Amino acid sequence: MTRRTRSQPCRWCGRDVADSGMGRRKQYCRQSCRQRAYEQRALVKGTSVPPDAVVLTAEEAAELSDRVYQVRCAAEDVAIAVDEGAGAKELRELCDALMRAAKAADGWR
């Protein structure tokens, strides 16, 4: 029997799901993600909304849009610094800011 080595993303939040290597693969990284997915499916049951759809409030959509915008701005800052020949220290700081923005955008659910 061969052990599975490739991880798969959580069906709710997208984080990597730990794989025990035996039996059926887990679909969610945490019980809370499993619960949120169940609640989402229950909300759309009997409606014309697809079961795998993600429904956001206007406020949640605006917050997600803001996070994506922050990532884009941080990436643009890195690109400009590279074009202008910035030093390693400045590039490291800009890359750290980009990573923080990306991590904040990643955990939006």
Q: Where are the domains of the chain?
A: 1-55, 58-106
pLDDT of residue 51: 74
Beta strand 16-17 pairing with 8-9:
antiparallel
pLDDT, tens digit, 9 for 90 and up, residues 4-63: 566 788 888 888 888 777 788 889 999 999 998 898 888 888 888 887 777 788 998 899
9 contacts: CB under 8 Å, gap ≥ 6: 15, 16, 17
pLDDT of residue 6: 67
pLDDT, tens digit, 9 for 90 and up, residues 87-103: 999 999 999 999 999 98
Residue 73 has pLDDT above 70, yes or no: yes
Cα distance between residue 59 and residue 64, in whole Å = 9
Task: Give the pair of three-digit tokens for residue 24.
Answer: 């059926």
This model's pTM is above 0.85: no
Cα distance between residue 75 and residue 68, in whole Å = 11
Mean pLDDT of 66-75: 95
